[in-house]
Amino acid sequence: MNVNGGTGRFFPGRIFFDHLPKTGGTAVAEWLRQSLGSGCVTRGHMWGRNRDLIRQFGGRFSVISAHTHFRRGDGLDPRYRYVTLLRDPIDRTLSWLYFVAENSGHTAADHDQTAVRVRRFLDSEGQDVDENLLSEVSNVYCRHFAAIFDGSPESPGDPASSLAAIQAYSVAGIYEDMPAFLAEFGALVGLPAPESIPRVHVTARRPAVKDISPTMRERIAALNELDLNLYTNFAGWKRHIGPQQSDNGQSGLPAPQWEPYEAPKGRASTAAEFALKNASLSGGKTHPQGALVCFEFEFSLASAFENLEVGIHLHDDIGRVAFGTNTTLLRCAANDARQGAHRARFYLALNLPEGEYTAGFAVAVVAPAPPRELAWFDELLSFHVTSPAVRQGVGYAEMPAEASCVWISGR
């Protein structure tokens, strides 16, 4: 049975869109999401190791779009068709630098001092390069792609092995020729290529490459020598092979008319005596791990109730309950809830792994038995948790850690 009410022609494929920062990937992912539906394409800005993301989301979504990384020798999952998009390395680096400097309110830069390091870099014409900034402004492509098949930790990222990895992708496009990329990607997934896609996450203010000083240009070029080599060879290879041919069995045939498959909505129900007025989260939608935030819910009751219980529940981006609590567990039950307006606040320290989350809200009369539910909402608010800039370990958890190493013997 088609729960969406159509013929059930939903996109069933396995696609991994390897979204490199500042290459227009968010706009591409939004095009896919609008065309194929929220139940087919992952949402938000996902980050993680390629294998881990496939394990988490591969069974739920047809298309995984993420800022991903590979451990050396991981390889590409043979069950998936991989897609990526490259941009001129100097232009990409400038876009990233000015996005952080000018749009820091929309990134984690406010929390990890990245914006401060970027401004020092820009003010010094690229001479003041913090070590923690190098991974974002120096040879991003080579480090990323060389790790796919190169199992040698001694290799810092070789243009030749990087190009070989890119050539294994089903579609690899050039940002400067977005229409051709969209046509190739569309052919792969069976979608007509759009004439254009709306730009998102646009850098508020930045100079063009031709307008920066020779000193700055030379500095960025020096930091991206390997990437410039790779990009030149990649662009030449693209011109040589022409448009990449889709291997989805649709070559020469009309594109199938996919119906957007929308993800099932979270539960939302209310009794006649209850009305939700407002839900809010302090500090915006992006918070660092451990941040203390306030979730606030305003509601009204048409009748008075004794033994009212108010609760909050947080879900991660694959629907698991990350945390939940209520006024009974916190020993602040509303024993005499009068008719009229009420405000409930929950103060939580976000000790959560990096990722996307939703917050829900519930109200029930818990006595006399049996309990009576007045309201339940699964997805009232959404927010993103960022990890600290410098971690003490690896894995999905962040744990306080110390170590010691002392000399104990001459033998």
Q: Is residue 370 part of a domain?
A: yes
Residue 286 sits in the same domain as residue 139: no
Residue 203 sits in the same domain as residue 274: no
Residue 28 sits in the same domain as residue 72: yes
Q: How far is CA 354 from CA 21, 40, 238, 357, 384, in A?
A: 17, 22, 36, 9, 7
| Alpha helical stretches, state H, 81-177 | 89-102, 109-112, 114-123, 134-137, 140-149, 159-167
Residue 199 sits in the same domain as residue 278: no
Q: Is residue 247 part of a domain?
A: no
Residue 64 sits in the same domain as residue 173: yes
Query: Strand 372-386 and strand 286-288: pairing?
Result: parallel
Task: Decide: 356 and 384 in contact? Cβ < 8 Å.
Answer: yes
Q: Is residue 125 part of a domain?
A: yes
Residue 202 sits in the same domain as residue 55: yes
**What angle, rounded to 10 degrees, do the helices at 140-149 and 159-167 form?**
70
Has residue 335 got a pLDDT over 80? no
Query: Strand 63-69 and strand 15-18: pairing?
Result: parallel
302-331, pLDDT tens digit by residue? 999 988 999 999 998 778 899 999 999 998
Q: Which two tokens stand for residue 27?
A: 């706009």
Residue 342 sits in the same domain as residue 223: no
Q: Is residue 221 part of a domain?
A: yes
Q: Can you name the residues that pair with 281 across neighbouring β-strands?
A: 295
More confidently predicted of 140 and 205: 140
The pLDDT of residue 275 is 95
CATH code: domain of residue 40: 3.40.50.300
Residue 229 sits in the same domain as residue 299: no
Residue 132 sits in the same domain as residue 69: yes
Which single residue is written with the structure tokens 């976000």? Answer: 350
The pLDDT of residue 106 is 44
Residue 158 sits in the same domain as residue 218: yes
Residue 397 one-letter amino acid: A
219-231, pLDDT tens digit by residue? 999 999 999 999 9
Run of H or E residues at 336: strand 334-337
Q: Is residue 211 part of a domain?
A: yes
The pLDDT of residue 256 is 62
Q: Which two tokens stand for residue 348?
A: 């939580």
The pLDDT of residue 107 is 44
The pLDDT of residue 333 is 72
Domain count, the chain: 2
CATH code: domain of residue 340: 2.70.50.60
The pLDDT of residue 44 is 67
Q: Which two tokens stand for residue 264?
A: 């099932």
The pLDDT of residue 115 is 87
Q: Tell me, what DSSP letter sits at residue 243?
A: S
Query: CA-CA distance, 225 to 71, in Å (whole number)?
Result: 23
Residue 235 sits in the same domain as residue 125: yes
Name the residue among 26, 25, 76 with its Cα closest to residue 51: 76
Query: CA-CA distance, 152 to 149, in Å (whole number)?
Result: 9
pLDDT grade for 1, boundaries at 50, 70 and 90: very low
250-260, pLDDT tens digit by residue? 444 445 678 89
Domain boundary among 191, 224, 241: 241
Phi-psi sector, 168: left (phi>0), alpha (psi -120 to 50), beta: alpha
Residue 218 sits in the same domain as residue 306: no
Provide the residue range defining the domain that includes 232.
Answer: 15-241
Task: Decide: 328 and 309 in contact? Cβ < 8 Å.
Answer: yes
Q: Is residue 397 part of a domain?
A: no
Query: CA-CA distance, 362 to 379, in Å (whole number)?
Result: 11
Q: Is residue 135 part of a domain?
A: yes
Q: Is residue 107 part of a domain?
A: yes
Over range 291-301, report the average pLDDT. 95
Query: CA-CA distance, 383 to 316, in Å (whole number)?
Result: 10
Domain boundary among 179, 206, 241: 241
